[in-house]
Amino acid sequence: MRYQSTRGGASVTLDEALRQGIAADGGLYLPESLPELTLSSGADSADIKVTAGTFLAPFFAGSDLEDSLDEIIAETFSFPLPVSALEVAAGRCDVLELYHGPTAAFKDIGAGFLAACLSRLEGDAEKPLTILVATSGDTGGAVAAAFDGRPGMRVVVLYPDGMVSARQAHQLTCWGDNVLSLAVDGTFDDCQAIVKSAMADRQLNDKHRFSSANSINIGRLLPQAIYYAHASVLHKMRTGTAPGFIIPTGNLGNAFACFLARETGMPIGKIILATNANRLIVDYLAGSAWEPRASIQTLASAMDVGNPSNMERLRHVGGDAEDLVGRIRAQSVTDAQIKSQIRRDYEELNLISCPHTATATYVWQHLDEEERLSHDWIVVATAHAAKFEQIVEPIIGERIALPSVLAAILKKPSHFVPIEASMAAFEAALEKQFD
Ligand SMILES: *Cc1c(COP(=O)(O)O)cnc(C)c1O
């Protein structure tokens, strides 16, 4: 299998696409052709690792990693991804729980898989590879956890000092010697600007071998398709119907993976994206032009994306708005609606939702009744509510029990280097830690 940029050009191997992250022309990598997968090819096992092996085999054909695929899968899917039934009065709605990984959010799956791949491709190289990640919360923790302690790999996490929650800050700063956490005196945009300048700096790049692990890397996308494949196939086997998915959406990585899984033939019904007040996708599907916007801060902060980069992939595979309408839908949920839905989930469904997950339960609850009752639905829970306890606890009036993964993280000592928002300060911190 070869991979091509959404903007055309020559194709590359999977290994090249994994190393590069973004294509040289600024486009995003996609497989040149999509395999057609069928239930009988083994994707009907109760073990998600078996589904993953079947699903990923064609995508890894010809890769240096082909022989390690089973190991990579075992490392990535080392925690459960259960589907639980909601206590609904009528109809059927399940929750796909993607928050049982090391940092209690779905990004653990993509980050873990990418780390498992890159450490095998690059672990023996003479100079370590240095992953740079600017983060406003979830991504940095998942990437740091995934690369923590891996030989031949380093991570530098940059986050805006004082602008992430205490628990989030701890997740960014509690890792081993190969992870450098920089508390930047500035905004998320300042952090991102440093990463961009560093990547573009030839000399610095030669020295540290920078790479990125952001959500446009194909290595984060492919493993996300697997839980949709697995959940939908098992649902189809049990009930005879293809479930619809409602997915909290920001940069469109998670939801695009669902679309991809359906394109390969997985029994997935409707796909509905739930966004927060950042509603570019919703407006685009309703006929507006695709024009990047400044992001708006919301309670579902990991979805505060004004210019969702994976739309480029979705349009490449699914066509422009006229073609996409009917294949995918989207609805925007305001902060007030998120708050009231968190309460309603708790009171009516016995579910403690994080603010991101609440956008999806809101959309499900407000479907047209006929549509809600005549289809089986699976809402996607993207993070554990305990990560956002400052928002959720006052609404439900109850302390949220800390899942063991988060409790373990919070017990680790935290260490970080405060820097001013400049390249000079960034370079100095790198020298000090890694020389
Ligand atoms: C990143 C994130 C999202 C959004 O996922 P995308 O792939 O960017 O659409 C939703 N919920 C949580 C908790 C996240 O961390």
Grade residue 215 by pLDDT with cuts at 50, 70 and 90. confident
Distance, in Å, from the CA atom of 268 to the CA atom of 247, rounded to the nearest integer, reads 13
The ligand 1 atom at the shortest distance from the C-alpha of residue 224 is 7
Distance (Å) of CA 82 to CA 46, 108, 151: 11, 15, 31
> Model confidence over 94-107: pLDDT tens digits?
999 999 999 999 99
Which residues lie closer than 8 Å to 25 by C-beta, 6 or more apart? 5, 7, 8, 9
Q: Containing domain of residue 307, as a range?
A: 81-106+219-402
In a domain, 191, yes or no: no
- The answer to which of 42-51, 274-283, 327-336 has the lowest mean pLDDT is 42-51
Is 299 strand, coil or helix? coil
Per the DSSP assignment, residues forming a β-bridge with 183 are 159, 418
In a domain, 254, yes or no: yes
Q: How many C-beta atoms surround the C-beta of residue 52 within 10 A?
A: 27
- Output the pLDDT for position 229: 95
Grade residue 187 by pLDDT with cuts at 50, 70 and 90. confident
The ligand 1 atom at the shortest distance from the C-alpha of residue 305 is 8
For residue 38, pLDDT beyond 90: no
For residues 347-364, one letter each, b for 16 or more C-beta atoms within 10 angstroms of the residue's C-beta and e for the rest, the string is: eebebbbbbbbbbbbbbb
CA of 361 to the centre of ligand 1 (A): 15
Whether 303 lines ligand 1, by a CB cut-off of 6 Å, is yes
Token pair recorded at residue 295: 């992001």
Distance (Å) of CA 206 to CA 182, 203, 315: 21, 5, 35
In a domain, 316, yes or no: yes
Looking at residues 370-389, what average pLDDT do you find?
Answer: 96
- Output the pLDDT for position 295: 86
CA of 140 to the centre of ligand 1 (A): 13
> Model confidence over 345-365: pLDDT tens digits?
999 999 999 999 999 999 999
C-alpha dihedral, 308 to 309 to 314 to 315, nearest 10°:
100
Supply angle C-alpha 255, 72, 217, rounded to 5. 40
- Residue 24, judged by CB atoms within 10 A of its CB (0-12, 13-18, 19+), counts as exposed
For residue 41, pLDDT beyond 60: no
Closest CA to 329 of 240, 218, 249: 249
Asked whether 42 and 216 are in contact (CB, 8 A), the reply is no
In a domain, 325, yes or no: yes
CATH code at position 90: 3.40.50.1100
Grade residue 413 by pLDDT with cuts at 50, 70 and 90. very high
Whether 243 lines ligand 1, by a CB cut-off of 6 Å, is no
In a domain, 343, yes or no: yes
Asked whether 253 and 310 are in contact (CB, 8 A), the reply is yes
Looking at residues 130-151, what average pLDDT do you find?
Answer: 91
Whether 213 lines ligand 1, by a CB cut-off of 6 Å, is no
In a domain, 119, yes or no: no
Which residues lie closer than 8 Å to 134 by C-beta, 6 or more apart? 140, 158, 159, 188, 191, 192, 194, 195
pTM for this structure? Answer: 0.95
Looking at residues 240-251, what average pLDDT do you find?
Answer: 96
Looking at residues 174-186, what average pLDDT do you find?
Answer: 95
Whether 105 lines ligand 1, by a CB cut-off of 6 Å, is yes
In a domain, 15, yes or no: no
Supply angle C-alpha 143, 253, 210, rounded to 5. 40
> Model confidence over 300-325: pLDDT tens digits?
999 998 889 999 999 999 999 999 99
Grade residue 138 by pLDDT with cuts at 50, 70 and 90. confident
Looking at residues 163-171, what average pLDDT do you find?
Answer: 88
List for the chain the helix, strand, coil content (%; round to 5).
Answer: 45, 15, 35
Q: Between these two residues, 275 and 206, which has the higher pLDDT value?
A: 275
- The answer to which of 29-43, 158-172, 281-295 has the lowest mean pLDDT is 29-43
Q: How many domains does the chain have?
A: 1
- Output the pLDDT for position 86: 95
In a domain, 75, yes or no: no
Whether 252 lines ligand 1, by a CB cut-off of 6 Å, is yes
Distance, in Å, from the CA atom of 367 to the CA atom of 433, rounded to the nearest integer, reads 53
Grade residue 213 by pLDDT with cuts at 50, 70 and 90. confident
Beta strand ranges found along 58-134 (DSSP E): 83-85, 92-97, 129-134
For residue 156, pLDDT beyond 70: yes
Residue nearest to atom 14 of ligand 1 (CA): 302
CA of 249 to the centre of ligand 1 (A): 6
Grade residue 42 by pLDDT with cuts at 50, 70 and 90. low
- Output the pLDDT for position 83: 96
- Residue of 95, 107, 171, 217 to test ligand 1 pocket, by largest number of atoms within 8 Å of CB: 107
Per the DSSP assignment, residues forming a β-bridge with 182 are 158, 417
